[in-house]
Structure 1
Amino acid sequence: MRVPQPTISHPVLIWDGTEMLECVSVIPEAPNVASFCFQSPSGALFSYVPGQFLTLELPVPGGPLYRTYTISSSPSRPMSISVTVKAQDGSLGTRWMLDHLKPGMRIKATSPAGTFSSHNHPAGKYLFISAGSGITPMMSMTTWMFDMGRPADIVFVNCARRPSEIIFRERLEHMASRVPGIDLKLVVEGTDLYHPWTGYQGMFNQLMLGLMAPDYLEREVFCCGPEPFMQAVREALAGLGFDMERYHQESFQPSLAAEAADPAEGDVIPDEANAAEVDFTLSGVTQRCAETDTILATARTAGLNIPSGCTFGVCGTCKIRKLSGQVHMVHNGGITEDDIAAGYVLACCSHPIGRVEVAV
């Protein structure tokens, strides 16, 4: 009897953000919307959880620009990673991507981050509600469940201005046609000329919610979109008696309510009249400032560059190591308690109290 010999497997490389990403394809999705697919030049695989985001360093004229985008691909397909971007009025970074980022070009990016994921809130039933480009994390999470091949129970609601602006419509319809547990509900404000629309029309409301998901009280809800849209969803759910502990949202816009509810590091409140000082130890620069100035703003005043994305404590791009001193930090989920305990802070929302040393 021949005994099988053990095989020698090569170690699997995982992309960690130190290697530039190579754009391998650009796929138009809707007006002013495109998906950019990236691979690692070394062949490293991508490991993340569906719903996380990337921060890209975009080489726009005048210096690098940092922009945060939710990953629209699924970690069940680890050979590549994709973001789907939508240019708004006044967009700088996204407009540059749509006009200039082509296959073969390489850009820098940070490793995936964020906690907005169904992985962190396992449930038997989900309700995904999105508007516009807020569909991207829902697409990632739904694709993951679809690829797993196990029974799923998802009511997938997406709202757009008109049918031609629904991102991923064909891909979603394909998944819904193959898996009975994906229930697709599309809502538009208006129709396209000469293209009949038989779905929901108008603004998302409580009545629509009851028709789309009669068992919404039993579902874990994930929501992403413009802040006014998410506010309307929150109010609709709360008004219907939904347990808001089971409501989760992702936003890259500042929320005053979230800031007010977020605990700050330390008990001292910054005072504009009090002087402070930040010692950027790696650069050998010390900069005076007021306590109400952020470390990020102070660094820029000193001529130093700390990579940043959202600038209000969501994306985590500006995470730096605090070596000594006290800061007052109010963030929106862009840093973990473990990171804080290890001495890290977010430069964009950390105010120095007295003298502070940071590894920049």
Structure 2
Amino acid sequence: MNMGVPQGHGYKHLDQMQPWSDRLHLLECLSVVEEAPNVKTFTFRSDNQNWFRYEPGQFMTFELGTQPESILRTFTLSSSPSRPFTFAVTVKAQEGSIGARWMLDNLLPGMRLKAFGPLGDFSIARYPGDKYLFISAGSGVTPMMSMTRWLQDCAPQSDVSFVACARRPSDIIFRRELEYLTSSMPNLKVSFLIKEHEMGQLWTGIRGRLEAPKLPLLAPDFKDRVIFCCGPEGFMRDVREMLEASGFDMAHYHQESFGPAAEPVLPLMDDLEPGEQPAATSMVTFSMSGKEVPCAAGETILKAARGAGIRIAAACESGLCGTCRILKLSGEVAMDHNGGILDEEIEEGYILACCSKPLGNVEVEA
């Protein structure tokens, strides 16, 4: 009997497998689990028996087969890299959402998707501490869950205060698992805040918004903790202002957001290397498309490509998600990214088209 092992493949140990690569492999949906109303967890494996290397709290960008054409959407990983044979994203469909709605309505086990990543520096791997405070609202709980699952596997004695906010008790994502984790993590304290009472639901916990008087009740020593916050922009703004007013050292505060960053700008003349001059108009050669396209001063390679009808996948368009990564074959660019590309990828010659502006003639693989 086939117990879920991919057809044509036998069992392999981790050291017999290669890491998954977004340049070479697709993802296969392995399972779909409903977590809450309009919330599902999708678990994936590689289509070629690879293992997944990422940091807890990072994200992936998916190419979704919506109509009339595919779109790109970014979702945080909710799984732990300590279990590397699969990974999962937990997706909530907000009102008016297209990508998340498509996943909830159409994505089934056995279907394959193209994805890019993982990327992101919102992780305890990047900002370690002796004690943590995780503050989330709605689907912002997903990176916190990834980090907590990793701590359960690798450092179960970790001191963590976990605050999850939701509208109603039934909207609390991962509620049962979080309550269970307190039995295996003796220094994990979980608190839930809800805004609305729900008929038929007994609730003895805290109600209302997360406000300054409540925070010391939830985490009396919050000023001594490294804080990670994720949720809607307004929620994170309120948390940030509350912490600033309390005298918290904001160097120990980190938040996650996929909103667009400021438009990258060309470097000043003083910032250029000796001999570098920003060209008034550059020519960009797209080797795979066989086109040579003029690129005005201050214009990105992505914009030049679109003007010529050349499709380069792009999601955030702010140098964050890394989806528009392409190989630069020759020439120089000014690239002002926001963490969406690794140093080793830059050394290999890769650039992000959305935030790379030519410094003279450039050839790229696109």
Settle same-fold status: TM greater than 0.5: yes
Distance in 2 (CA, whole Å) between partners of 1:191 and 1:328 is 53
Residues 202 and 328 (structure 1), Cα distance of their counterparts in 2 relative to 1, 3 Å cut: farther
- Aligned partner of residue 141 in structure 1, secondary structure: helix
Instruction: Quote how far apart the aligned CAs of 1:133 are.
Output: 1.0
Find out whether 1:11 has 2:11 as its counterpart: no
Match of 1:104 among 100, 110, 115: 110
Determine what percentage of the aligned residue pairs are the same residue.
51
Distance in 1 (CA, whole Å) between partners of 2:62 and 2:150 is 23
Equivalence for 1:170: 176
Match of 1:229 among 235, 242, 245: 235
- Any stretches of 5+ residues in structure 1 without a counterpart? 1-8
Trace 1:190-201 onto structure 2 (pairs within 5 A). 190-201=196-207
Distance in 2 (CA, whole Å) between partners of 1:203 and 1:347 is 41
Residues 254 and 21 (structure 1), Cα distance of their counterparts in 2 relative to 1, 3 Å cut: same
Match of 2:141 among 135, 140, 163: 135
Further displaced range: 134-143 or 234-243: 234-243
Trace 1:39-118 onto structure 2 (pairs within 5 A). 39-118=45-124
Trace 1:214-293 onto structure 2 (pairs within 5 A). 214-256=220-262, 266-267=267-268, 275-293=281-299
Q: Is the Cα contact below 8 Å between 1:291 and 1:354 reproduced in 2?
A: no
Distance in 2 (CA, whole Å) between partners of 1:310 and 1:140 is 22
Aligned-partner residue type, residue 20 of structure 2: W
Instruction: Quote how far apart the aligned CAs of 1:266 are.
Output: 2.6
Q: How many residues align?
A: 345
- Any stretches of 5+ residues in structure 2 without a counterpart? 1-12, 272-279
Instruction: Quote how far apart the aligned CAs of 1:34 are.
Output: 0.5
Distance in 1 (CA, whole Å) between partners of 2:48 and 2:359 is 44
Instruction: Quote how far apart the aligned CAs of 1:323 are.
Output: 4.2
Find out whether 1:334 has 2:340 as its counterpart: yes
Distance in 2 (CA, whole Å) between partners of 1:193 and 1:132 is 20
Instruction: Quote how far apart the aligned CAs of 1:81 are.
Output: 0.9
Instruction: Quote how far apart the aligned CAs of 1:342 are.
Output: 5.3
Q: Is the Cα contact below 8 Å between 1:67 and 1:309 reproduced in 2?
A: yes
Trace 1:304-323 onto structure 2 (pairs within 5 A). 304-323=310-329
Distance in 1 (CA, whole Å) between partners of 2:347 and 2:360 is 20
Instruction: Quote how far apart the aligned CAs of 1:99 are.
Output: 0.8
Instruction: Quote how far apart the aligned CAs of 1:175 are.
Output: 0.4
**Alpha-carbon deviations, 1:50-75, whole Å to 9, x = none?**
11111212122223222111111111
**Alpha-carbon deviations, 1:21-74, whole Å to 9, x = none?**
111111111111110011123332222211111121212222322211111111
Instruction: Quote how far apart the aligned CAs of 1:309 are.
Output: 1.9
Aligned-partner residue type, residue 82 of structure 2: S
Q: Is the Cα contact below 8 Å between 2:162 and 2:191 reproduced in 1?
A: yes
Residues 343 and 205 (structure 1), Cα distance of their counterparts in 2 relative to 1, 3 Å cut: farther
Instruction: Quote how far apart the aligned CAs of 1:155 are.
Output: 0.6
Q: Is the Cα contact below 8 Å between 1:266 and 1:326 reproduced in 2?
A: no
Find out whether 1:147 has 2:153 as its counterpart: yes
**Alpha-carbon deviations, 1:312-343, whole Å to 9, x = none?**
22111112233455545443322345544654
- Aligned partner of residue 99 in structure 1, secondary structure: helix
Further displaced range: 52-61 or 315-324: 315-324
Residues 14 and 351 (structure 1), Cα distance of their counterparts in 2 relative to 1, 3 Å cut: closer
- Aligned partner of residue 252 in structure 1, secondary structure: coil
* RMSD of aligned residue pairs (Cα, Å): 2.5
- Aligned partner of residue 307 in structure 1, secondary structure: coil
Q: Is the Cα contact below 8 Å between 1:265 and 1:327 reproduced in 2?
A: no
Further displaced range: 286-295 or 234-243: 286-295
